[in-house]
Structure 1
Amino acid sequence: MKTFTINTQTMHYQDIGEGPVIVFGHSYLWDSSMWAPQVEVLSQSHRCIVPEFWGHGASAAAPESTRSLKDYANDVLSLLDYLEIDTFSLVGLSSGGMWATELVVNAPARVTSLVLMDTFVGLEPEVVHTKYFAKLAEIEENATITSDIVDFFDERQFAALEKDSPLRTAFRQRLLTADKERALALAKVGRMVFGRRDMFEYAEMFALPTLIMVGAQDRMRPVLESQLMHDGITGSEFVLIPNAGHISNLEQADLVTEKLQQFFAKHLSR
């Protein structure tokens, strides 16, 4: 892991491999290790940059200046400027796809291609927004992530994995052992994610190679949302990932890696 500082707050990130640059955005409540299966393969021919969202992994809480996903996209762009990376592709799952869309809008000439996985760039539906904000308020009130809240998020992550599988156990344990500062940092970022602005009209104007993938059993971001984005983004490709839920890149790691390799083989060159 390497570090980059913005307004006294330290962002941790991975920088692995050489070649055309791919920037990965992980899901809310996860960290850069989520992309390990894909980075292991793609870093053999690409330079993979994987920042850890504020409050996630080893990264500090968000700086005071970072109050929205648009702000965070600018933070990532600052990291890429620091690394002297001019052009890059983006792969974002869930919240990673949301801030990736903001980055495309901010710096369209620098983004060569885009992969949106298990995400939605429109407004959070009202009923869902209310439900998530109630959970975030509970975290803030108690300054902890209770087992009930862990259950709430855990049951929305996976489709085919047993509850006692190592992956789900590690996910739950990471949240249950979060200290006060980490719990509040995650709640702050959660408000950015579930209170994001509507980016759908911007996405409809995208003129870059775009791949949209979604787990067939995704409960957090239903397939319909990805189909709406596919219909709205001209020329986009759509892949439905069988036997996978929200964290589709881990439930079907080999298939997702294969689809990414095929996509980048068409749209990236050394």
Structure 2
Amino acid sequence: MQTFTIEHRKMRYLDLGQGPVIVFGHSYLWDSAMWEPQLELLSQHYRCIVPDLWAHGQSDIAPEKTRSLSDYADNILALLDHLKVEEFSVVGLSVGGMWGAELALKAPGRMKSLTMMDTFIGLEPEVTHQKYFGMLDAIAGAKAIPEPLLDIITPMFFAKDAIDTNPDLVADFRHHLASLKGERVVEVTRIGRMIFGRRDLMDEAAKLTMPVLIMTGAQDMPRPPLESQLMHDAIAGSEYVLVPHAGHISNLEQAQFVTDELMTFLGKIYA
């Protein structure tokens, strides 16, 4: 991991391979390691830059001035400027797709393509907004993720039969959630409020004129396929791919399928 500092806070990131630059954005409650299956192949063809979101992985807590996903997109742009990267593509899953869209709107002339996986750039629906903020309040108050919430949150990220088909993946994620304690988990909830209190970008979707790939797990519970279809309808020329037998973390549940789709899409961009 390498380090980039913003307001005395350290952002950790991977910088692998050579060639056209692909910036990866991981899901909330995960970290850069979730992209390992894709990086194994893509880093042989591209320069892959993979930051840990603030308060995730090895990155510090968010700088005081980073209070929204738009601010975080500015942080990523600062990292790319520091690395003297002029042109890049973004592959973002969940919150990675949300800040990826923010970045595309800020630097449309520099972004070659945008892949948004298991994400939604509209407002959080009111029912889930209230549900998630209630969870975040409970976690921040306890300075841990209580056992009943572990039972609710863990399966939300996976296909319905994942406990049978990917038991180690599910168990490892639950263990990770249980390990979050103290001020660190409080800072994680701060990021959660940025995500679930995000601004509505659907009215600006027409401005996403670069090549766009939208992928979603067929069994994604937090970001159901209907949301991806709405984005696909709003973004002219976008491509839409449904990932079979996958939930929210589709790139891990169907790693080869997702890697193949990314290689095909990026291959057209950088032919």
Per-residue CA deviation, residues 42-74 of structure 1 (Å, 9 max, x unaligned), is 000100000000010011111101000000010
Q: Distance in 2 between matches of 1:19 and 1:151?
A: 42
**Aligned partner of residue 19 in structure 1, secondary structure:** coil
**Aligned partner of residue 207 in structure 2, secondary structure:** coil
Q: Does 1:3 align with 2:26?
A: no
Task: Tell me the TM-score normalized by structure 1.
Answer: 0.98
Deviation at 1:142, TM superposition (A): 1.5
Gaps of 5+ in 2: none
Partner residue, 1:119:
119
Q: Distance in 1 between matches of 2:88 and 2:27?
A: 20
Q: Distance in 1 between matches of 2:239 and 2:141?
A: 43
Equivalences for residues 99-138 of structure 1 within 5 A: 99-138=99-138
Equivalences for residues 196-235 of structure 1 within 5 A: 196-235=198-237
Deviation at 1:113, TM superposition (A): 0.3
Question: How many percent of aligned residue pairs carry the same amino acid?
Answer: 55
Partner residue, 2:268:
266
Deviation at 1:28, TM superposition (A): 0.3
Query: How much is the aligned-residue C-alpha RMSD, in angstroms?
Result: 1.0
Greater CA deviation, 92-101 or 147-156?
A: 147-156
**Aligned partner of residue 14 in structure 2, secondary structure:** strand
Partner residue, 1:93:
93
**Aligned partner of residue 220 in structure 1, secondary structure:** coil
Partner residue, 1:139:
139
Q: Distance in 1 between matches of 2:116 and 2:197?
A: 19
Q: Distance in 1 between matches of 2:197 and 2:229?
A: 22
Partner residue, 1:48:
48
Alignment: residue pair count? 269
Q: Distance in 2 between matches of 1:142 and 1:210?
A: 40
Equivalences for residues 236-251 of structure 1 within 5 A: 236-251=238-253
Partner residue, 1:75:
75
What amino acid sits opposite 2:99 in the alignment? W
Contact 2:105 2:207 survives alignment (8 Å): no
Deviation at 1:150, TM superposition (A): 2.0
Q: Distance in 2 between matches of 1:53 and 1:265?
A: 27
Deviation at 1:205, TM superposition (A): 2.1
Partner residue, 1:161:
162
Task: Tell me the TM-score normalized by structure 2.
Answer: 0.97
